[in-house]
Structure 1
């Protein structure tokens, strides 16, 4: 009886974790869209810097004070340089993603983001000359075809936003491949929470001059906005904290479920985000666009299956 209670409690904990992961992921995406597009806060680089500042502070609190995971130290200048390179790619991914949300609806943003496996396979081949089984490459055809169809049928298509979204997706894939290459030795491996602890402050160092150059007087404008509407401060604080919880819940879900479960949940999360964003923002969607997105999701599922079978 006690054992079944423990199993039930464990299941409830996992369900709670997944719900938190979904909520934080979709929440930060929708709030980014609201701030950058609907609210009119047109400063994606500054917004990313706020996210990275929160990740720096909250990572330190979670690891050094709350001891959620053991602290891992950087062992050499070479390892630090590798982490800095990852941080730069990570920054470009988040900034490009936030810029794209100024111009594209969340539904289309998610459709393009679903092509991450395609870019991961391309970068893995180019950088490690690691070939997958031919069937794995075949499954990438619907992944790309779906986005091409979705692009043609997207009523709110914006070329610059689309380029930024493709850039964000490619940078996200490049970061995962680089991470596998740069931090592959046993002595250099860092779990995702410790990696974030070191990457986030470096990202702030990169983003600060970029913000000052690209988004002139953003601090003055934000203060002026806050005098008119104090909600902007709360939006930024909540949004930044949520950006950290995306990483925390992703780490915990990875830890408490299998890699396959994570893939399935990840695919479903994109579809849930699309539905919720359409309900909230009422952006126009076409049957062609939704068909394209559905084809992409099917391709991603087939790709995950092919990868699993050929391991």
Structure 2
């Protein structure tokens, strides 16, 4: 009787641990998206490359502490120069995806950013076919139709609203009416950066499968991050100094002017690491498919929270487009599961 009681207690504690882990993963994931948006758009810190460099620096330091000191996972070594080249390639693509994603948050609402980001399976399927000639089942490709259609609906609505806002603004200026029209809800450069970030994330997934497919070279995600992050920092330092002139001086000045800013930056960078850590732990304690399904729901939660916090304008048609995309991603996950 005591053994069964102990067994049930262990199962209950295991479930509570998994629920707590998922909650922490959700919190860190949504938190870093919203804080990025706040810093880059609302706060006015318009330096996405430098912000990404802070994220990667935190990932490099904290992943080393987690592996070398806390022994979260066993440390794996880089076995050859060829393997290092592969990791560096992955780091460059990963870096491009994060920078482009942060740039897009300067111009786009989080809700629209998440809608475009949900099309990652579409780009993954395209890159997988182009680079490996790997074909999925016909049902998998069919499920990608609502994924893309939803974003087309959402972006089409935003483009139309923006054109109408600009037209009304022009007419008011012509008639001497200086009342303001709402801020345009669509930004072409931001949209292109968001699509670029989504495509780069998909490319990184495919490249990771190709470059580190060898059993001798395979690294778990925690060790891979530990080696990728410092390479990303080395790439981002010159990019930030050249493209975001005097960013270090501006950051120091902001920190002196508002002490909260430095805490925002530190907290944001730490959250960026915990996104990767909890991603790994949730996969370990559940499954990759569960992580994908939870990720779909996370996007919807992020949209709702961002609307409540930032009050960004949302149309019914735009929300229907986003919902259609999420439904498509869920169907895509199920189709992939059946093919396996």
**Does residue 279 of structure 1 match 2:308?**
yes
Higher alpha-carbon deviation: 44-53 or 217-226: 217-226
Shift of 1:292: 0.3
Q: Could you tell me how far apart the structure 2 residues matched to 1:55 and 1:259 are?
A: 22
Could you say which residue in structure 2 is the equivalent of 1:303? Answer: 332
CA contact 1:153–1:287 (8 Å) conserved in 2: no
Q: Could you tell me how far apart the structure 2 residues matched to 1:149 and 1:226 are?
A: 42
Could you say which residue in structure 1 is the equivalent of 2:205? Answer: 176
- Which of 168, 192, 196 is matched with 2:225 structurally? 196
Could you say which residue in structure 1 is the equivalent of 2:115? Answer: 111
Q: Could you tell me how far apart the structure 2 residues matched to 1:125 and 1:116 are?
A: 14
Cα displacement string for residues 236-292 of structure 1 (whole angstroms, at most 9, x for unaligned residues): 000000000000000000000022321221110000000000000010100011000
Shift of 1:225: 1.1
- Which of 14, 19, 22 is matched with 1:15 structurally? 19
Could you say which residue in structure 2 is the equivalent of 1:34? Answer: 38
- Which of 192, 195, 199 is matched with 1:163 structurally? 192
**Matched ranges for 1:49-88 at <5 A:** 49-88=53-92
Could you say which residue in structure 2 is the equivalent of 1:139? Answer: 143
Q: Could you tell me how far apart the structure 1 residues matched to 2:249 and 2:287 are?
A: 47
Could you say which residue in structure 2 is the equivalent of 1:266? Answer: 295
Q: Could you tell me how far apart the structure 2 residues matched to 1:153 and 1:288 are?
A: 7
Shift of 1:198: 0.2
The structure with the larger Rg is 2
Shift of 1:153: 1.9
- Runs of 4+ aligned residues of structure 1 deviating over 2 Å after TM superposition are none
Q: Could you tell me how far apart the structure 2 residues matched to 1:264 and 1:240 are?
A: 26
Cα displacement string for residues 201-220 of structure 1 (whole angstroms, at most 9, x for unaligned residues): 00000000000110000000
Cα displacement string for residues 167-223 of structure 1 (whole angstroms, at most 9, x for unaligned residues): 000000000000000000000000000000000000000000000110000000111
The TM-score, its normalising length taken from structure 2, stands at: 0.91
**Does residue 218 of structure 1 match 2:247?**
yes
**Does residue 227 of structure 1 match 2:231?**
no
Which consecutive residues of structure 2, in runs of 5 or more, have no partner in the other structure?
162-184
Which consecutive residues of structure 1, in runs of 5 or more, have no partner in the other structure?
none
CA RMSD of aligned residues (A): 0.6
Q: Could you tell me how far apart the structure 1 residues matched to 2:69 and 2:289 are?
A: 32
The TM-score, its normalising length taken from structure 1, stands at: 0.99
How many correspondences in the alignment?
A: 311
Cα displacement string for residues 77-97 of structure 1 (whole angstroms, at most 9, x for unaligned residues): 000000000000000000000
Cα displacement string for residues 31-56 of structure 1 (whole angstroms, at most 9, x for unaligned residues): 00000000000000000000000000
